[in-house]
Chain A
Amino acid sequence: MRIAVLSGKGGTGKTFVSVNLACAAYKAVYVDCDVEEPNGHLFLKPCITKKEQVKVKVPEVDMSKCTGCRICVDFCKYNALAYINNKLMVFNEICHSCNGCIYLCPEKALKAKERAIGEIEEGISENVTVFTGRLNTGEVSGIPIIKGLIEKLSDEDTVIIDCPPGSACVVMESIRKADYCILVAEPTLFGAHNLSMVYDLVKLFDKPFGVVLNKCMDGENPSEQFCIENKINILSKIPYDEEIGRLNSEGTIVVRADERYHQIFSKILEVIS
């Protein structure tokens, strides 16, 4: 079963929930799709077994063949090409690697060139196989890396997908193949607003889902209110606990350190499966 963990904003506890779910399982695969700033590895500290580059194809022009017809320039919906002073300019960072320009060039002046944009790291942390995607600094889109990560997953394992924050394309790519989505939310008005955004997203993708209310305190919880109003299944309420904060700041995984938390996360897994 593939479980994606997402939230409308950063800092709600996606990685906290993902890492602890993976560790509470008998055996699991943890996938860090937050490729701009992967941090699950800081807790899991995997022993790295494999590293590979992720490459995308971008067009390269042979100016001796280019006649300046601009078919490629006009075709590109992302405007990754410009024709200036009888020269074709290619903006690699903007290219989405559709290869349409190469296909359409009547002079065959364009060919595909591979370009590395990041890497995928594989490792082991006790009962958890860890995949970490990492986008190179300055690159615009992490989608090819997320696609590469998702391709590596088998159907049998318990897979925990730690998504990037928000509800944009990178999150959609991360949850596309998920069987279940866990939405993590904070007990604030801002948290409830962000929860409503990912709620809309998982409904749009028609995914079964539930909410983990994190950092719960006494008093009002706008995110919980939102769940009740929309009849959303609350999987768990994790209390605001300074001990969690302390363990987290030391890079300790709470289910490996504290039996109480092992029970909380085991129960979430039970409820879902």
Chain B
Amino acid sequence: MKVSVPLENKSLESPVCQSFGRTPLFALVDTESCAVEYLDNSAAASQGGAGIKAAQMIVDSSAKVVITYRLGQNAADVLNAANIEVYKAQDGTVIENIEKWKEGKLSLLDDIHPGFHNYGGM
């Protein structure tokens, strides 16, 4: 199964990015084969709707799980429509979060924020 996590640098040892829509990168980790891929987030510089575009990319990457600190309403709508499960990240690195998720220690993200719409997250 593919798990996607927003992160700052191309290393699973780097921390989970605080933002979903405007993260510079996503890690895409196949939990069976352990293959790791990094996706450039082209939505990061969007004028608006970054969460929607980033979520579209995650859907297209065929990830089934997302681990993130936060998620806006629009991005949540896109991920929900694709039946992607979203888990709340905990402080630590990406790999630590993926391990915790495997052990069932992460909870589903339920505090969806209304978004930072308009003019690129004012």
A contacts, CB < 8 Å to B: 73, 76-85, 87, 89, 91, 93-94, 140-141, 168-169
Q: A residues within 8 A CB of B49?
A: 76, 78-80, 91, 94
Across the interface, name the chain A residue whose C-beta is closest to B84.
A84
Across the interface, name the chain A residue whose C-beta is closest to B122.
A168
A-B contact pairs, 14 of them (CB 8 A): A77-B47, A78-B47, A78-B49, A79-B43, A79-B53, A80-B49, A82-B59, A85-B81, A85-B82, A91-B49, A91-B52, A94-B52, A94-B117, A140-B117
Q: Are A89 and B53 in contact (CB under 8 A)?
A: no
- What are the 10 A-B residue pairs with the smallest beta carbon separation, nearest first? A79-B49, A79-B53, A84-B81, A79-B52, A78-B48, A82-B56, A94-B49, A140-B117, A84-B82, A82-B78
Q: Any chain A CB within 8 A of the CB of B99?
A: no
Q: A82-B56, A83-B56, A87-B81 are in contact. Are A168 and B119 (CB under 8 A)?
A: yes
Q: Any chain A CB within 8 A of the CB of B118?
A: yes
Consensus secondary structure, chain A interface: loop
Across the interface, name the chain A residue whose C-beta is closest to B55.
A82
Candidates B43, B59, B74, B83; contact of A94 at CB < 8 Å: B74
Provide the bound-state CA to CA distance between A79 and B74, in Å. Answer: 10
Across the interface, name the chain A residue whose C-beta is closest to B80.
A84
**Min CB gap A11→B, angstroms:** 19
Extra contacts, 16 of them, besides A79-B46, A79-B53 (Cβ < 8 A), are A78-B48, A79-B49, A79-B50, A79-B56, A82-B52, A82-B53, A82-B56, A85-B82, A87-B81, A89-B78, A91-B49, A91-B52, A91-B74, A93-B117, A94-B48, A94-B52
Q: A79-B50, A91-B74, A94-B48 are in contact. Are A140 and B118 (CB under 8 A)?
A: yes
B contacts, CB < 8 Å to A: 43, 46-50, 52-53, 55-56, 59, 74, 77-78, 81-83, 117-119, 122
Candidates A79, A83, A84, A87; contact of B48 at CB < 8 Å: A79
**Min CB gap B86→A, angstroms:** 14
Number of A-B pairs whose CB atoms are under 8 Å? Answer: 55
Q: B residues within 8 A CB of A83?
A: 56
**Min CB gap A67→B, angstroms:** 17
Provide the bound-state CA to CA distance between A89 and B59, in Å. Answer: 13
Q: A residues within 8 A CB of B59?
A: 82, 84
Provide the bound-state CA to CA distance between A272 and B46, in Å. Answer: 41
* Residue among A79, A84, A168 having the largest count of chain B Cβ atoms under 10 Å: A79
Q: A residues within 8 A CB of B53?
A: 79, 82
Q: B residues within 8 A CB of A94?
A: 48-49, 52, 74, 117
**Min CB gap A130→B, angstroms:** 27
Provide the bound-state CA to CA distance between A89 and B47, in Å. Answer: 19
Candidates A77, A80, A140, A141; contact of B52 at CB < 8 Å: A80
Provide the bound-state CA to CA distance between A169 and B118, in Å. Answer: 10
Provide the bound-state CA to CA distance between A77 and B52, in Å. Answer: 12
Q: B residues within 8 A CB of A141?
A: 118
**Min CB gap B69→A, angstroms:** 21
Provide the bound-state CA to CA distance between A189 and B79, in Å. Answer: 45
**Min CB gap B16→A, angstroms:** 23
Q: B residues within 8 A CB of A82?
A: 52-53, 55-56, 59, 78, 81
**Min CB gap B44→A, angstroms:** 12
**Min CB gap A101→B, angstroms:** 13
Q: Are B119 and A169 in contact (CB under 8 A)?
A: yes
**Min CB gap B115→A, angstroms:** 9
* Residue among B77, B117, B119 having the largest count of chain A Cβ atoms under 10 Å: B117
Provide the bound-state CA to CA distance between A76 and B122, in Å. Answer: 20
Q: B residues within 8 A CB of A81?
A: 52
